[in-house]
């Protein structure tokens, strides 16, 4: 029978986890409707902020949720054999206007890894690429070790 050991991450371990990874899940909520999508992000450990580039089309559900300035959660997790680690950030997702960009924030967006290609059924001339900053009000992490019986 497996034995689990769960340990809360220190702030430094949370920062290291977010700095080491580049993908996660963004979950948004509006009224009683949830919405979750995979994301790529850049992380600034000094300010403890995530930087996201989000792409949507005019009729997308993503654009509807983003327009409502919803509460957000970002989950970044990793699975390495018998050790599982996850970090959860909770807070508001803020759209960044072009006028607010500085060389430092532009460098953070450069850390977000977009796929090298995207496949669309139809031509998408109205793609909207927006920049967002996620400064979580709460940022926690856990590591779980599963010790498996060798039988």
Place of tokens 């559900």: 61
Global pTM value: 0.78
Nearest to 22 by CA among 3, 44, 39, 1: 39
Per-residue pLDDT of the chain (151 residues; tens, 9 = 90+): 455 788 999 999 999 999 999 899 999 887 778 889 998 888 989 999 998 888 777 778 887 887 776 679 999 999 888 889 999 999 988 888 777 766 666 655 554 444 433 444 555 566 677 788 899 999 999 999 887 666 5
Residues 6+ apart with CB under 8 A from 41: 22, 23, 24, 50, 51, 52, 74, 76, 111, 112, 134
- In DSSP notation, 86-118 reads EEEEEEEEEEE-GGG--HHHHHHHHTS---S--
């Amino acid at each position: 029978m497996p034995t689990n050991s769960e340990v809360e991450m220190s702030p430094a371990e949370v920062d290291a986890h977010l700095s080491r990874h580049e993908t996660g899940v963004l979950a948004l909520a509006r009224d009683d409707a949830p919405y979750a999508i995979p994301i790529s992000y850049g992380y600034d450990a000094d300010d403890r902020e995530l930087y996201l580039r989000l792409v949507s089309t005019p009729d997308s559900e993503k654009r509807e949720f983003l327009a409502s300035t919803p509460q957000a959660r970002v989950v970044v997790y990793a699975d390495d054999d018998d050790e599982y680690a996850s970090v959860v950030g909770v807070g508001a997702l803020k759209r960044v206007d072009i006028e607010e960009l500085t060389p430092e924030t532009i460098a953070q967006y450069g850390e977000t890894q977009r796929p090298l290609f995207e496949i669309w059924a139809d031509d998408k001339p109205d793609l909207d690429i927006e920049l967002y900053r996620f400064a979580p009000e709460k940022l926690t992490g856990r590591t779980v070790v599963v010790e498996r019986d060798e039988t």
